[in-house]
Amino acid sequence: MEYITYKLSYVASLCLLFRSPPFVSSELNYKFYDSSCPNLSKIVQEGVRSAIANDSRIAASLLRLHFHDCFVSGCDASILLVKIIQRTRPILPSTHPCPAPPDDLTDDLTVQFPALEEACPCTVSCTDILTLAATSAVYFSGGPYWPVALGRRDGLTASIDAANNDLPSPFEPLENITAKFAAKGLDLQDAVVLSGAHTIGFAQCFTFKTRLFNFGDSGKPDPVLDTSTLTKLQRVCPNQADSDTKLAPLDSVTSTKFDNFYFKRLVNKSGLLQSDQLLMGDNRTASMVISYSRFANLFNKDFGASMVKMANIGVLTGQNGQIRRNCRVVNSNKY
């Protein structure tokens, strides 16, 4: 802890040397940091690989953080801002199905990648780090790799209201969810393929418990849900208030491996979240789910393409935004 404190003080001192902003392009570029931070990708990849080796759940947390960041005010690392609205955790909607990421993951991304700040102080934006980390999280969980254009800058504000309004909820009908994707420039295929991120990670019981005991206020379980899956989930999430925050894997077959089993489970009526299982209730989305359940390579290819589209939502470039010295706090000066 003393070393980290000293290191951050040293980095902060170096940052003060950069009174004027460095030249930055107004467009994202695959070679954006080639001169200023040539080992960026390797440093982030090693940090993510090490973190996942210690706790496999980190992969899903990084992927969710990137998704939720981009969906609110654009990919600007606003999800990491907490002191602006006097919160103690990253901004997550009240209906967010997944558990909040651990504090040590989000305290400051620069702390998570100490070699990065040592090699390239005050150079890489928090949002570019998060974008690269999400890509690496998928790759080190057995999923695809896709190249990432860089040069994003960090936002100056954050809003819990925007998070509640803009992010899809596990309780919403499919048309509402796809409308929220469309509002961000993402089409129906993007909505389906990006839902495949639920192949890793966990959800809290309160987000699906009505399916197990009182679906649609019927006093009965969801008739669509596979009976074997229902029985297992009722054991994990009994019908009592103290089970609300218990966790169940979104994909119980391979919960830490990025693969297409999520789609196979939807086809078999074993999707955990109602919002996910609804994809099988529409002919347009059901045909995509079936294709992804059969062809893992197709899913991997389309997932990477949709992630690239998502990572370009509302980005700040050029002189807009800033490069935060601490990912949880806006810089005191403009840059």
Model pTM score:
0.86
pLDDT of residue 26: 54
Would you place residue 22 in the very low, low, confident or very high pLDDT band (cuts 50, 70, 90)?
Answer: very low
Query: What phi and psi values does residue 332 have, to the nearest 5 degrees?
Result: -75, -25
Q: Residues 115-137: what's their mean pLDDT?
A: 93
- What single-letter amino acid sits at 140? F
- Among 2-11, 78-87, 313-322, top mean pLDDT goes to 313-322
Q: Does the pLDDT of residue 11 top 80, yes or no? A: no
What's the whole-number mean pLDDT along residues 137-149?
97
CA 190 to chain centre: 15
Residue of 186, 207, 250 lying closest to 96 (CA atoms): 207
Share above pLDDT 90 across residues of the chain, in percent, rounded to a whole number:
74
- Mean pLDDT to the nearest integer, 186-193: 98
For every residue of the chain, which 3-state class applies, written as one string? CHHHHHHHHHHHHHHHCCCCCCCCCCCCECCCCCCCCCCHHHHHHHHHHHHHHHCCHHHHHHHHHHHHHHHHHCCCCHHHCCHHHCCCCCCCCCCCCCCCCCHHHHCCHHHHCHHHHHHCCCCCCHHHHHHHHHHHHHHCCCCCCCCCCECCEECCCCCHHHHHHHCCCCCCCHHHHHHHHHHCCCCHHHHHHHHHHHHCCEEEHHHCHHHHHCHHHCCCCCCCCCHHHHHHHHHHCCCCHHHCCCEEECCCCCCCCCCCHHHHHHHCCCCCCHHHHHHHHCHHHHHHHHHHHHCHHHHHHHHHHHHHHHCCCCCECCCCCECCCECCECCCCCC
Distances (CA, A) of 64 to 59, 101, 334: 9, 9, 29
pLDDT at 69 over 50: yes
Q: Mean pLDDT of all residues in the chain? A: 86
Taking 80 as the threshold, does the pLDDT of residue 34 lie above it? yes
pLDDT tens digits along 221-237: 999 999 999 999 999 99
pLDDT value at position 115? 81
**pLDDT-derived band of residue 68, with 50, 70 and 90 as boundaries?**
very high
66, 68, 96, 198: the catalytic one is 68
Calpha distance 315→124 (Å, rounded): 14
The percentage of the chain sitting over the pLDDT mark of 70, rounded to a whole number, equals 82
pLDDT at 333: 78
Which region, left, alpha or beta, applies to residue 216 given φ > 0 means left and ψ of -120 to 50 means alpha? left
For residue 13, the model assigns a pLDDT of 38
Told to judge if 68 belongs to the known catalytic residues of this protein, a careful annotator would answer yes
Residue 283 has pLDDT above 90, yes or no: yes
Q: Tell me: the pLDDT tens digits for 72-123?
A: 989 999 999 865 544 434 444 444 454 544 444 444 455 567 788 889 988 9
151-158 mean pLDDT: 95
In the predicted structure, residue 5 carries a pLDDT above the cut 70: no
Higher pLDDT, 335 or 20: 335
Residue 31: predicted pLDDT: 96
pLDDT in tens, 261-280: 999 999 999 999 999 999 99
Which are the contacts of 235, defined by CB distance < 8 A and separation ≥ 6?
A: none
pLDDT at 84: 52
